[in-house]
Amino acid sequence: MEFAELIKTPRADNVVLHRPFHPAVEGTLCLTGHHLIFSSRRRDNAEELWLLHSNIDSIEKRFVGSLGTIVIKCKDLRIIQLDIPGMEECLNIASSIEALSTLDSVTLMYPFFYRPMFEVLEDGWSSFLLEQEFEHLSSVTNEWRLSCVNKDFSVCPSYPPVVIVPKSVDDEALRKVALFRYGGRFPVLSYYHKKNGMAMLRSSQPLTGTNGRRCKEDEKLINATLRSGRRGFVIDTRPLNVAQQARAKGGGFEQEVHYPQWRRIHKYIERFHILQESFIKLVEACNDQSHNMDRWLSKLEASNWLTHIKELLTAACLAAQCIDREGASVLVHGSEGTDSTLQVTSLAQIILDPRCRTIRGFEALVVREWLQAGHPFQQRCAQSAYSNSKQKWEAPVFLLFLECVWQIHRQFPCSFEFNEHFLILLFEHAYASQFGTFLGNNESERAKLKLPQKTMSLWSWVNRPEELSRFQNPIYEANSLVIWPSVAPQSLQLWEGIFLRWNRPSRFLEEAEEERINIIKYNKELQAKVNVLRRQLAEMETDGEVQEEE
Amino acid sequence: VENVRLLNRLSSRRAVVGTLYLTATHVIFVENGSESRKETWVLHSQISSIEKQATTATGCPLLIRCKNFQVIHLVIPQERDCHDVYISLIRLARPVKYEELYCFSFNPKLDKEEREQGWKLVDLNEEYNRMGVPNNYWQISDVNRDYGVCDSYPTEVYVPKSATAHIIVGSSKFRSRRRFPALSYYCKGNNASICRSSQPLSGFSARCLEDEQMLQAIRKANPGSDFIYVVDTRPKLNAMANRAAGKGYENEDNYSNIKFQFIGIENIHVMRNSLQKMLEVCELKSPSMSDFLWGLENSGWLKHIKAIMDAGIFIAKAVAEEGVSVLVHCSDGWDRTAQVCSVASLLLDPYYRTMKGFMVLIEKDWVSFGHKFNHRYGNLDGDPKEISPVIDQFIECVWQLMEQFPCAFEFNERFLIHIQHHIYSCQFGNFLCNSQKERRELKIKERTYSLWAHLWKNRADYLNPLYRSDHSQTQGTLHPQIAPCNFLYKFWSGMYNRFEKGLHPRQSVTDYLMAVKEETQQLEEELEVLQERLANLQKSQSGNNKVKSKQQDRSKEFGLYTSNNSLANTPQEYSSDLKSFPSRSPSQGDEDSALILTQDNLKSSDPDLSANSDQESGVEDLSCRSPSGGGCVPSEDSGKDSDEAVFLAG
């Protein structure tokens, strides 16, 4: 496959670039296999725009005479406009962009071609191994073991090769349980709450079917996480009627007769195309140019986006509450166990575990609970809010998770080591990236694509000290407590950093951020100075005393 | 009354039992329980409404709504007690004489001199001088010295130099309540000004030569411009309806060189209802996101806020960018006009964005120009139709601007909230009565204290840590985004859900940064002291011939050197060694101690951080606010594994 075949006009001059809050710039447009590059002609401060084709969500073209205009809408929600003189050039460029931004094969994506310009200090592909996590776990409990039952992805294609399961359950039993759970996703450990030894498990729905099939091994597995005489909670992310209907298709839920020690709670979390539509409506509302205040609020309401945020946060808080307050173990699942399940388990960890609120810990959480847990990134993030494709597997599941983290962050601004930009970065890279981290739908696919060998990991780049400093929260103070966010509507806000990022003036907010950093920086500098002097003085004084004694 | 239960309206689980006291000035609820005995104090003047609900098995519920948006839900065991409390409160909450108000009994233990100093903190003459008047174009007029022309205006009014007393009096006769055009803000840089008045009594065809001359005089006072804007802040329909009553608006044909402009801000009745609707939304027990957003939209509140902002932005733009003077009026020129003039001034002049300047601004555009505080905020029992959250809206506009320009204001959100509180509290005399005339008659300054002095004394609490007088946002005119900008206007939960702490962010960036800045200041001082002590020590030790080697034993080479040559080591060399010392060592382990220092200092000086330990209590807030209802996880014995789990209750 030659990209050159797709590029009919590689270069156009006298193109004018329009962006909101920037003056229009004239320059040259170039198309390469993976980038749209615009560089201004002005010699004094040449402006350059590099846009990944994979970041382009949709493209519109229109003509006034021979002046063509292309409107490019990106997956990161930015909208730019290019005025291109010459109808033919414009048409060629538009069709090239269209073709290049919708390449079918993963191996043609930019991460396979990207060559880093930085020195790799630490290979991100091996930064977060489950083995390390298990080692950490082993230091506090010996009730769990690492199982390699899935080492060739045969038991569960969407699970990683190693998982953590109760020690008392052997691989043979796991194989049986896998047959009883949708997609082979048997219950595995998601989080261990050191404070009281309670565990959070996740899985997919049990395949009880209409005749109420049961699986003794499944019962034994999840019961192994309970303290004697105590009960656990199953948090089902579907409403009861949906769970009941699932039985007709072979799915189902844990019935109380077979799971007497478990109490089931249905906490509905919206899925798939409903989320995608909500996303599209919200972005539409944010781009609405009308001056009418009422229309804004009703559009915001009609998008239902904040309702989804509220429901999701509530479910996560509930899971956290069961573990921390009720001292109970929790099993979380929906249907497939790859979307709402992961949202709930990962958010509950943000609430419960201070480690997840550090940069490194949050990266580990994303790796463990999203990438390794088999959230199908490639399907879900194939398109963003401007696409017309409306494929049923597209959904902003990960974005919702990131926004919930942001909402908690807003309520506990001093408890997170990272800042908002870090969350935005993850959103961007999940949708389009030069790194291979978010390619593929699960570990099995990533292994087949040989991503660790052929592409660079996002973590290799982001964990370099010079990058990391941009994502640090200046006012972070480690907080070892559980943080309980409010889920009242008054406490939730639209995430402007994502949705209004390109249509609000950000200068003043950036200045405020700078000022915050400066205040902290100056304080630290002074502290260092004072400490030096203090010590110096102390030394001189003790010496003085020694002298006097002598 | 004993054994009263104070309900938390979010959750019946969190009710507390205590004793209710009624004093001459306050309602006080004291919780039973030995350790905390938390007290809730409510000023009678804060009470907006009292509602007695049907008696239930547990007692008689009494609902007290306050003007600062606090809602207190009490249950009193005996119906008779409840009735007595109800009757007393109704009487106490609606005083009929100014003398009954709290400010006449409030005594902050200041002597007479301090009180007088307090009242002098904000001086409007000084303010007009700061603006640059009087000058060649503007002069102070004594035409209203005995309130003879307009009883709701101050005695000292600035008018164009070419406006004679005859013109002023003539113009005043052609304006509602005789509120003739007077200077509100003067822009030194380009001579453009903002003037304010009430509507003209033009009816369908009346004109008044003096009024036309007055507007002409305003135009002439700005030689750089050949017209003025006349901004009528009412919706056009309202203004036209007024014509039938012999009032109305300026006819462009009769006035030379004016450009007339309507800006549709609704009247006080619409605003009152809007607030009422929004508060109902805030009071919903566990609203869904849709309930909340629908309710917010239906209240229209943010739309009204935006309308006021838009008017202010229009005027600021006319003055700053076009250099054109503006005359603003509404009907009487004391509500919308005050809002719009003060928003415009705030945008135009950085001074009003400082703490002192903001006090001056309220004093100038609201207090001195006869905003009817008593009527609007119901200090004395009066016509409920006169009540309207006019200044509340202005205060919210300021907050909305603070959200958009985080570094531009010297003060923080708390400052605004406390001002709002005291506009209703009647604890200070500033906002009593409806006009300067009434306040003078009551001898407010001799008998009460000034809020401004009180706020100024505690100014450290009200500082915005991000404000720096040399910051670019601090300078010049603020230019808020005009379109699209609807999303920039947000619900202000810090104000309208002020007393529900569970809804607010649990950690305050402002307080954190203030604590850091405070520590920074201490460090600066300590640094200075240390440097001085070090210098002294060096001097005294360098004068000492018996310098010992131990002083340098950290550095082995030097230690060796000096111990070998201790006698030969001259003072000069020693001190030069010392000087190089700091630059070598700061990274060596000072960082640990620095870290410890931060935490210690912050924990002690920052209540919001030490409140971290309370965070776990957040679980209760969560459970009661979540639509899952029920709150806590069901107890073990309650469950029969029914499919309808308790969490689904909502």
Give pLDDT, residue A5: 84
User: Distance, in angstroms, between B203 CA and closest chain A CA?
Assistant: 32
Model confidence over B305-338: pLDDT tens digits? 999 999 999 999 999 999 999 999 999 999 999 9
Residue A320 phi/psi, 5° resolution? Answer: -65, -40
Partner-chain contact B628 A260, CB within 8 Å: no
Partner-chain contact B493 A490, CB within 8 Å: yes
| ipTM of predicted complex | 0.94
Task: Please check whether residue B325 is in contact with residue B192, taking contact to mean a CB–CB distance below 8 angstroms.
Answer: yes
Cβ-Cβ pairs closer than 8 A, A with B, add up to 286
- Cα–Cα distance between A492 and A494 in angstroms, integer? 7
DSSP character at residue A472: B
Chain B residues whose CB is inside 8 A of the A311 CB are 627
Which of B309, B397, B506 is best to mutate for the A interface (most A CBs within 10 A)?
A: B506
- Residues of each annotated binding site of B: 267-268, 330-336
Partner-chain contact B585 A515, CB within 8 Å: no
Q: Is there a cis peptide before residue B484, judged by omega within 30 degrees of 0?
A: yes
Structure tokens at B226: 């050949």
* One-letter amino acid for residue B259 of the chain: K
Partner-chain contact B286 A488, CB within 8 Å: yes
Task: Please check whether residue B143 is in contact with residue B149, taking contact to mean a CB–CB distance below 8 angstroms.
Answer: yes
Which residue has tokens 């600035």?
B158
CA distances from A302 to A67, A308, A314, B604 (A): 38, 12, 20, 46
Which residue has tokens 């003037």?
B195
Q: Is there a cis peptide before residue A85, judged by omega within 30 degrees of 0?
A: no
Q: Where are the domains of chain B?
A: 4-94, 112-511
* One-letter amino acid for residue A338 of the chain: T
Task: Please check whether residue A356 is in contact with residue A375, taking contact to mean a CB–CB distance below 8 angstroms.
Answer: no
Partner-chain contact B641 A318, CB within 8 Å: no
Interacting residues of A205 by C-beta distance below 8 A, sequence separation 6+: A181, A182, A236, A243, A246, A251, A252, A253, A333, A334, A335, A336, A337
The rounded Cα B621 to chain-centroid distance in angstroms is: 27
CB atoms within 10 A of CB B111: 8
**Domains delineated in chain A:** 4-103 (2.30.29.30), 130-499 (no CATH)
- Cα–Cα distance between B631 and B305 in angstroms, integer? 36
Interacting residues of B162 by C-beta distance below 8 A, sequence separation 6+: B217, B220, B221
Q: Please name the residue of chain A whose CA is at the shortest distance from the CA of residue B466.
A: A515
Structure tokens at A435: 């790194």
Chain B residues whose CB is inside 8 A of the A488 CB are 286-287, 502-503, 625
Partner-chain contact A310 B641, CB within 8 Å: no
Residues of B tagged active-site: 330
The size of chain A, in residues, is: 550
Q: Please name the residue of chain B whose CA is at the shortest distance from the CA of residue A259.
A: B641
Chain A residues whose CB is inside 8 A of the B291 CB are 489
Structure tokens at B61: 């519920």
Task: Please check whether residue A323 is in contact with residue A193, taking contact to mean a CB–CB distance below 8 angstroms.
Answer: yes
Per-residue pLDDT of chain A (550 residues; tens, 9 = 90+): 578 888 988 999 999 999 988 889 999 999 999 999 999 877 666 788 999 999 999 999 999 888 899 999 999 999 999 999 988 999 999 999 999 998 889 999 999 999 999 999 999 999 999 999 999 999 999 999 999 999 999 999 999 999 999 999 999 999 999 999 999 999 999 999 999 999 999 999 999 999 999 999 999 999 999 988 888 999 999 999 999 999 999 999 999 999 999 999 999 999 888 999 999 999 999 998 776 767 899 999 999 999 999 999 999 999 999 999 999 999 999 999 999 999 999 999 999 999 999 999 999 999 999 999 999 999 999 999 998 777 889 999 999 999 999 999 999 999 999 999 999 999 999 999 999 999 999 999 999 999 999 999 999 999 999 999 999 999 999 999 999 999 999 999 999 999 999 988 888 999 999 999 999 999 999 999 999 999 988 888 787 666 655 4
CATH class belonging to B4-94: mainly beta
Chain A residues whose CB is inside 8 A of the B517 CB are 519, 523
